[in-house]
Amino acid sequence: MKKLFSYHEMYVFLAIVIVALAITAINPSFFTLENLFDMLKSYSLIGTFAIGVLFVLISGGIDISFTAIATITGYITAVLLLQRGDQLNIYIIFLIAGVIGILLGAFNALIIYFFRIPSIITTIATLNIYYGILTVLSQGKWLYGFPEWFGKYTQMYVFTITNANGISYGLSVITVFWFALLLLAWFILRFTVLGRSIYAMGGNIASASRAGFNLLKLHLFVYSFMGLMAGFASVIQALLVQTVAPNSLVGKELDVLAAVVLGGASLTGGTGSVLGAVLGVTLIAILGNGLTLMHVPSYWYKVVIGIVILISVGSSAYRRKISTRRRVIIEVE
Amino acid sequence: MERKYSDSLVLLLTLAGVIGLMWLLNGSDFMNLGYFQSMAFQLPELGMLSMAMMITMLTAGINLSIIASANLSGIVMALILTETIPPEATGPGGIGLIIIAILAGLLVSALIGLLNGFLVAHLEISPILATLGTMILVSGLALAITKGYVISGFPPAMKAIGNSSLLGLPVPLLIFAGGVVILSVILQHTPLGNRIYFLGSNPQACFYSGVNNPQILMRTYLISGLYSGAAAIIMISRFNSAKADYGESYLLLTVLVSVLGGVSAAGGFGRVSGLVLALVILQIISSGLNLMGVNTFLTLALWGMVLILVMVIQYLIERFQEKRRTI
């Protein structure tokens, strides 16, 4: 039991339980299967971004350009859908978005690796480059009216349940896709040399380099993977809302970062887990959903998220500080 | 010391080149006095925010919350001004209330700075995360207070701060000049300034030589907060209004100005004089592009590229110098 509480994830889980109970007490419609499936579907977007951000944070970097990358991949796939929609299918769409995402992510990696520019500065710059160029080229136009087959995926469920009012709901294929990505990420981080090297690089980049890890490859992988997830997320966004707007994603990067950080990933690198990221996304999701259900005006949402982040980051930093102090005392004895 | 000298020389040459280029591209439009005056009104708020960013970068940190705190303190000032004084009021009573409003706004930004300082110095949270958290919290508060609306209608004396001139010089420029002088005195001529540079270049060595690191960091973020509060005064008086999301694109620009001015992102290097030169260069280019009718988003993309380019050049120069030293 004591060991359980040494994990950051445990605290996030407790927070989720408490918040969920509080919301249910005020509005019982929160704790229904229908609402759960609904939330899982709409938060697949942030959840997919979060996987990429998790990798970057574990490696000791940060990326805030991913929403701009997703805006570009989303816009390009949307243009393709509108022009050649009948010759394409969903796999090709994911492939195109993924490849472009990887390329843009790799560009970030190369700058960060070769010129030793801090990742925060690099990605502030590339966020503006990617987003600025796209906005100029697209002239801010919204794209909609995609082919029929593309719209079908929004209403496709693995299984469906019909509620008392005759409206059917179920587990969306979009959610299943997100779960598959989570499993993949978990597998990479947990069971592959690649995954363990990302932790090693994040833990201490100098010793990782001396131990013979290829830092260029690791940088390329981490930021390209972020790009890939951004590409996938842009398709998910297009599926969810059936519209692509140049300004719909940029600005969401803070929500995603908040979710991953809540789940225990720290910017000093080397820590973080897929479970933590999922819990973080869940906490953000139920806070957002719960505030709506409790009829709290939406502009309080950011205040709540800000407070939750500061408490979460503060408490884990404080625990880390205490534990290093304890370690020092033991060494002296 | 030699390196610093050549840095400012490079900046001065760039400045001359940029003025020449813009003159060539825009012709006589560019060199007219009114145009320089309008630049002098625009530059100070970015300048104050850049200094707020710069001082945290000197300690190898960053402050993502500067714009959010400028907006929140601007909103607090605006609320006090609009709730207590009718817009027509003049006279000494009005002036007193304006001073109270400004002090309250500065107090708010000082508190945000102290919160950042506490998180970074005492809880040892990385500056990016700590200031990201306060940024979300503070901009959320600003949004919750205003509900997204604009607060406007200030008394004339307040508008005068942003829009009038004293002895031929725009008041915002005078405030900016004051900010520049104060920050350079702090950085170059006080023990605090010495320690900020020391802490930035090597926190461990700094700590073991008896410096109270947390205290220095607290003061750094407090000063950073106060400078964003001062930026808020200029901002709201110039726009005659306050809003939760003014100046969001400034984040990139403040980092760019600092880096362009020779502030090292790894901490420990950079002077206010470099920052001022970089700021003027940036303002001239931006006004020139504006005059040519270049799309603002394209300008933003351009700034991103310039930022990366400058960092790359800095890296290459550093490597070159290192190589020479080892030979």
Q: Do B140 and A136 touch (CB under 8 A)?
A: no
Domain presence at residue B240: yes
* pLDDT given for residue B232 in this prediction: 92
| Residue that wins the pLDDT comparison between A271 and A64 | A64
| Residue that wins the pLDDT comparison between A126 and B158 | A126
* pLDDT given for residue B246 in this prediction: 80
Overall fold of domain A4-332:
ABC transporter involved in vitamin B12 uptake, BtuC (1.10.3470)
| Residue that wins the pLDDT comparison between A129 and B160 | A129
- Range with the poorest average pLDDT among A72-76, B59-63, B319-323: B319-323
Are A66 and A226 a contacting pair, CB within 8 Å? yes
Mean pLDDT to the nearest integer, A260-275: 80
Banded pLDDT at A9 (limits 50, 70, 90)? confident
Residue A160 has φ and ψ, to the nearest 5°, of -125, 150
Banded pLDDT at A224 (limits 50, 70, 90)? very high
- Summarised one tens digit per residue, pLDDT across range A164-206 is 777 777 788 889 999 999 999 999 998 999 999 999 998 888 8
Q: Using CB atoms, which residue from A118, A303, A314 is nearest to B123?
A: A314
Q: Using CB atoms, which residue from B139, B297, B312 is nearest to A132?
A: B297
Indicate whether B311 pLDDT > 90.
Answer: no
Q: Do B266 and A304 touch (CB under 8 A)?
A: no
Question: Within a 13 Å sphere around the CA of B265, how many CA atoms are in the beta-carbon half?
Answer: 22
Mean pLDDT to the nearest integer, A68-84: 92
Domain presence at residue B69: yes
* pLDDT given for residue B8 in this prediction: 67
- In 3D space, the residue among B213, B195, B216 whose CA is nearest the CA of residue B204 turns out to be B213
Indicate whether B1 pLDDT > 50.
Answer: no
Residues of B in contact with A109 (CB under 8 A): none
Banded pLDDT at A331 (limits 50, 70, 90)? low
ipTM (interface pTM): 0.84
Banded pLDDT at A306 (limits 50, 70, 90)? confident
Domain presence at residue B228: yes
| Interchain contact A266–B (C-beta under 8 A) | yes
- Summarised one tens digit per residue, pLDDT across range B4-45 is 445 666 777 777 777 777 777 766 666 666 667 777 777 898
* % of chain B with per-residue pLDDT over 70: 91
- Range with the poorest average pLDDT among A89-93, A328-332, B29-33, B139-143: A328-332
Domain presence at residue B140: yes
Residues of A in contact with B62 (CB under 8 A): 120
Amino acid at position A110, single letter: L
Banded pLDDT at B326 (limits 50, 70, 90)? low
**DSSP secondary structure letter of residue B139:** H
Is the sign of the CA dihedral A297, A303, A309, A312 positive or negative?
negative
Average pLDDT taken over every residue of chain A? 85
- Range with the poorest average pLDDT among A100-104, B109-113, B273-277: B273-277
Domain presence at residue B327: no
Q: Do B312 and A299 touch (CB under 8 A)?
A: no
* % of chain A with per-residue pLDDT over 70: 95
Q: List the domain range (segments joined by +) for residue B128.
A: 2-322
Indicate whether A267 pLDDT > 60.
Answer: yes
* pLDDT given for residue B314 in this prediction: 78
The domain that holds B24 is classified in CATH as 1.10.3470
Is the sign of the CA dihedral A148, A151, A152, A153 positive or negative?
positive
| Residue that wins the pLDDT comparison between A329 and A100 | A100
* pLDDT given for residue B53 in this prediction: 93
Would you say how long chain A is, in residues?
Answer: 333
Banded pLDDT at A95 (limits 50, 70, 90)? very high
Domain presence at residue B302: yes
Q: Do A132 and B315 touch (CB under 8 A)?
A: no
Amino acid at position A319, single letter: R
When divided into structural domains, chain B yields a total of 1
Q: Do B305 and A314 touch (CB under 8 A)?
A: no
Q: Do B303 and A128 touch (CB under 8 A)?
A: yes
* pLDDT given for residue B227 in this prediction: 95
Q: Do A313 and B297 touch (CB under 8 A)?
A: no
Banded pLDDT at A25 (limits 50, 70, 90)? confident
The alpha carbons of chain A give a radius of gyration, in whole angstroms, of 21
SS3 sequence of chain A: CCCHHHCHHHHHHHHHHHHHHHHHHHCHHHCCHHHHHHHHHHCHHHHHHHHHHHHHHHCCCCCCCHHHHHHHHHHHHHHHHHHHHHHCCHHHHHHHHHHHHHHHHHHHHHHHHHHCCCHHHHHHHHHHHHHHHHHHHHCCCCEECCCHHHHHHHHCEEEEEECCCCCEEEEEHHHHHHHHHHHHHHHHHHHCHHHHHHHHHHHCHHHHHHCCCCHHHHHHHHHHHHHHHHHHHHHHHHHHHCEECCCCCCCCHHHHHHHHHHCCCCCCCCCCCHHHHHHHHHHHHHHHHHHHHCCCCHHHHHHHHHHHHHHHHHHHHHHHHHHHHHHHHHHHC
| Residue that wins the pLDDT comparison between B67 and A10 | B67
Q: Using CB atoms, which residue from B128, B298, B308 is nearest to A125?
A: B308
- Summarised one tens digit per residue, pLDDT across range B132-149 is 889 989 988 998 888 878
Task: Report the range out of A94-103, A260-269, B171-180 with the highest average pLDDT.
Answer: A94-103
- Summarised one tens digit per residue, pLDDT across range B183-215 is 999 999 999 988 889 888 888 888 888 888 889
Q: What ranges do the domains of chain A cover?
A: 4-332
* pLDDT given for residue B19 in this prediction: 75
